[in-house]
């Protein structure tokens, strides 16, 4: 480790860390607690991270039915706009959140990333790649003190660099000082190697440069998060390009030790566990949830496949807790 670099913390008891974060999420809010609106909220991974960081969530926006139902179940006191973000006007957003332009502290959002994702077809013309414009439309109208926008690492690869540059220019043109970094959740207390592109912006008139939180934890082993004592290795589950039952030599070499963080959880299929007797099985939702840094108290709607889909689509709450805490310091009054 270089001189002056922050020393990474070794997490001794991951379940205790997750339980503490869960308690923080449900603690009473301070009178001057910072506020957040979450768009493309999904089941609430980002929202939970903000709650863990002491924020008061004024509004969430989500259109997918199962994700919205899961959000309502876990955040019954947060107003939810369940519908197409393109049909949500700035005026309605302000009314639902109970704020005026410029009063909101943080505007959060994870515009759908399937068109950018390296695990998908990566189609540059995918209309979902343009949903960031709806995010920017609301950002311009709300004028929050800061914003956080999350996306996948694939948006800076190949032809997608053009779209990445356009997104960056558009965010800056909204009146913000913007920085973007690729963060890996495994350095923020999450027992999963999951890279995400994080945009942080601070409104120009505040006079503070945008920045990102430094990694604070040593990578957390997957065995610290799941109770399966018979598991000896883990690897990515077969996605849509790798049907169940089809042997793929490239995947046979991707088994990793249980003493390492898990591979990224994708929405289409859970990671696979190799057991001591040589058999294999997919991770259960109860195992994927803590690997995604969702505490035991978080509840799911629908069957196992829906829970895996929600976890695979979510920003890990502990990663967002670190980001939210950092942004809170940037805009502290």
**Catalytic positions, please?**
113
Q: How many Å apart are CA 217 and CA 134, to the nearest integer?
A: 35
Q: What share of the chain is helix, strand, coil (3-state, %, to 5)?
A: 35, 20, 45
Count Cα neighbours of 103 within 13 Å in the Cβ-side half-sphere. Answer: 11
61: part of which helix (H) or strand (E)? strand 56-62
The residue with tokens 């890996």 is 184
User: 158 to each of 123, 133, 154, 155, 164, how far by Cα in Å?
Assistant: 11, 21, 8, 8, 10
Three-class DSSP category at 255: coil
Q: How many Å apart are CA 41 and CA 118, to the nearest integer?
A: 22
Dig out the tokens for 87 from the structure.
Answer: 């049909």
Q: At CB < 8 A and 24+ separation, what contacts does 128-137 make?
A: 129/163, 131/40, 131/85, 132/167, 132/170, 133/170, 134/85, 134/86, 135/39, 135/40, 135/85, 135/109, 135/111, 136/170, 136/171, 136/174, 137/90
């Amino acid at each position: 480790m270089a001189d002056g670099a922050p020393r990474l913390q070794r997490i001794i008891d991951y379940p205790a860390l997750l339980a503490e974060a869960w308690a923080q999420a449900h603690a009473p809010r301070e009178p001057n607690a910072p506020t957040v609106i979450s768009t493309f909220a999904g089941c609430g991974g980002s929202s939970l991270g903000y709650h863990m960081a002491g924020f008061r969530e004024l509004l969430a926006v989500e259109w997918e039915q199962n994700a919205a139902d899961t959000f309502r179940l876990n955040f019954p006191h947060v107003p939810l706009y369940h519908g197409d973000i393109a049909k949500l006007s700035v005026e309605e957003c302000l009314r639902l959140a109970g704020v005026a332009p410029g009063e909101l502290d943080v505007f959060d959002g994870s515009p759908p990333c399937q068109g950018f994702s390296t695990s998908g077809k990566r189609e540059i013309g995918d209309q979902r790649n343009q949903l960031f414009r709806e995010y920017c439309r609301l950002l311009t109208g709300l004028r929050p003190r800061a914003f956080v926008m999350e996306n996948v690492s694939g948006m800076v690869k190949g032809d997608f660099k053009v779209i990445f540059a356009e997104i960056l220019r558009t965010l800056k043109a909204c009146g913000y000082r913007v920085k973007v970094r690729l963060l890996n959740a495994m350095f923020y207390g999450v027992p999963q190697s999951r890279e995400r592109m994080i945009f942080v912006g601070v409104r120009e008139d505040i006079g503070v440069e945008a920045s990102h939180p430094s990694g604070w934890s040593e990578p957390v082993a997957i065995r610290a998060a799941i109770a399966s004592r018979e598991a000896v290795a883990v690897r990515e589950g077969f996605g849509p390009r790798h049907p169940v039952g089809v042997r793929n030599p490239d995947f046979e070499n991707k088994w990793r030790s249980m003493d390492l963080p898990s591979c990224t959880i994708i929405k289409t299929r859970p990671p696979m566990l190799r057991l001591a007797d040589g058999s294999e099985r997919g991770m259960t939702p109860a195992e994927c949830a803590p690997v995604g840094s969702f505490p035991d108290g978080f509840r799911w709607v629908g069957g196992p496949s829906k829970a895996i889909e929600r976890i695979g689509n979510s920003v890990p709450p502990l990663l967002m807790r670190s980001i939210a805490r950092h942004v809170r310091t940037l805009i502290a009054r």
